[in-house]
A and B are shown apart, each in its own frame.
Chain A
Amino acid sequence: MPSSTTIAADAGAPRRARKLARRLQRGDQIAHVITFLFAATIFIITALLFYELYTSALLTRQKFGWNFLSGTTWDPVALEFGALPFIYGTLVTSALALIIGVPLGVGAAIFLAELAPIRISNGLAFIIELLAAVPSVIYGLLAIFTLVPFLRDYVAPVVQSALGFLPFFQGQSYGVSLLAGGSILAIMVLPFIISISREVLLAVPREQREASLALGATQWETTWNVVVPYAKAGIIGSIFLALARALGETMAVTMVIGNDPKINLSLFAPGYSIAAAIANEFTEATGDMHISALIELGFVLFCITIAVNAVARLLISTTTRKSGVT
């Protein structure tokens, strides 16, 4: 009975097609679930990171509480752990990095965005972005053998003879110092400040410049009074991003800061940063309490950089959104 089989086949075809469609849709769901699982892993890893840092610093947190942050003695032998010298060192080197790096970086960004022809600007920006790719241990290597002797033999004598009466420049200079740490950080954060600020400046609408120039302002006056204020939030965002980098930077600072856990006003004196302390002491830690103290240092650093990064992202995204609308 050939006719009945054809009828049966005809009735089966749409059902099969529907089945196939359903199976393929399930394929969509499967793909969705698989990629979601991998994306969720990122969340889980980050949560685990936070949890591990928090719980494994339990010992010192119970013993010292908030005094951990304000204590000035760091003595692993006597089990006395105060993080203030490290926090001080981290903050001072990062502040120095910004004091040196921000004028240089913003200046270069202005030149690249406002004056240089776009071709040259792109080429130079390319070179500057490569600077961001140089591993930090290489910055450290160069700093040990060039920057440190330079600061010791040339900068310190000159500054001390001119401004030696200030407490920031007193004392014996060995080269390895807060200033060395701050200087190398300044160089390392430059590419971040320059490339983001340049992009933000380039995103300022042409009309803003033209209006100002038409009113008779010089190019510099236009740049400084119109373009830079327009891009201000983005530039500040790039500075915060640079700050986050500087705070968390480990190797280059470890190699030149001198690694001495004391609070010295003098920039020529050796210091110690949070990251450097972890790098140097972790493998030699003598007991659970010492490890716990170092992990708590890591936790403090983690929280500071996360907060600074969040501010940076917020500022940068508000400016790009603004220029996106106009």
Chain B
Amino acid sequence: MSVIARRTRRRITNIVMFAVTGACTLLAVSVLFFILGYLLWQGGNALNLDFFTKLPAPVGETGGGFANAILGSAKLLILASLIGVPIGFLGGVYLAEFGSTTPAFVVRYTTDLLNGVPSIVMGIFAYRIVVLPMGHFSTLAGGMALGVMMIPIAVRSTEEFLRAVPNALREGALALGATKWRAVATVVIPAALPGIITGILLALARVAGETAPLLFTAFGNLFWSPGWNQPTASLPDTIFKYAIAPYEDWHQQAWAAGLVLLSLVLVVNIAARLILRRQTSISRG
């Protein structure tokens, strides 16, 4: 009798515990749908053409848009790519193809370290390096902060995809008499290029949503920011400022901006991950 009782107890524990883990999964997955749904519901109403074409309205007036913030974000991302992509890409090539043990170990270790630096600390760094010498906030400083944040992600994905290229390709090129750099430049890198590019896109999507490093580098701006030397608005920064402001109308606009930013980030992420998945399944199969 007790044997049967124990067996039922064990069986029930089995079912209950897995049900609990299932509930955990359901909860985690539903968070994304909650975020998406809520933003669509709240932001969808506030989103209109003005949002993309107009400047923010002065306090007290309704309407207006975030055109300057959208352009600002684009400019910041261009600057970030100019810093992050060359260093990240060539650094990754070094680690995968040329690195000798000790220097490569040091570089890999510092890349991990840099990846773990909190984003707000990156803001302080850009403030010390760019804002302080220039004497004022600027697009340049914000782009630099984001660029440095891009580096570790770009390095890692570049190295990973170069390593995934089969050695037979390298050996084939070398056997045909190519020198190492030609083999790398004309055979290995082209083979890994789709992966590397999607990795860099993911890095861009990641820094596109960063707010903390921009607070005291790009600073924010209610107007257009001509050139690269002036403070500029950006989408994430504007969302932050509008969300904590006490005006209902501003909250609506924060929702709209949140919806735009989230859509951008998710579209890039989904596309990149699908491409990567196909890529890896091809190279494996």
Contacts and interface: CB of A to CB of B under 8 A. Distances in A.
Contact of B117 (A28, A39, A302): A302
Contact of A137 (B111, B125, B148, B209): B209
B114 A45 contact: yes
A52 B128 contact: yes
B91 A42 contact: yes
Interface in A149-193: 187, 190-191
A231 interface: no
Interface residues of B, number: 90
A53 interface: yes
B112 A131 contact: no
B262 A134 contact: yes
The residue in B27, B91, B185 that gathers the most chain A C-beta atoms within 10 A of its C-beta is B91
B110 A43 contact: yes
A90 B129 CA distance: 27
Given A38-B94, A194-B28, A250-B211, A221 B14 contact: yes
Contacts of B118: 247-250, 275, 301-302, 305
Q: DSSP majority for the B interface?
A: helix
A43 B273 contact: no
A108 B21 contact: yes
A35 B14 contact: no
Given A35-B94, A105-B28, A133-B266, A42 B116 contact: no
Q: DSSP majority for the A interface?
A: helix
Contacts of A42: 87, 91, 107, 110-111, 114, 151-152, 155
Given A134-B265, A302-B117, 13 more contacts: A42-B110, A49-B114, A53-B125, A110-B21, A114-B21, A116-B25, A124-B29, A134-B209, A139-B35, A142-B39, A145-B251, A194-B28, A302-B121
Interchain residue pairs A-B with the least CB separation, the first 4: A135-B209, A248-B118, A107-B24, A35-B94
21 contacts: A35-B94, A35-B97, A36-B94, A42-B87, A52-B129, A105-B24, A130-B32, A130-B270, A134-B209, A135-B261, A136-B211, A137-B211, A138-B239, A139-B35, A190-B31, A219-B14, A221-B13, A251-B212, A301-B121, A305-B116, A306-B113
Interface of A: 24-25, 27-28, 30-32, 34-36, 38-43, 45-49, 52-53, 56, 103-105, 107-108, 110-112, 114-116, 124, 126-131, 133-142, 144-146, 187, 190-191, 194, 218-221, 224, 244, 247-251, 255, 275, 278-279, 282-283, 294-295, 298, 301-302, 305-306, 309, 313
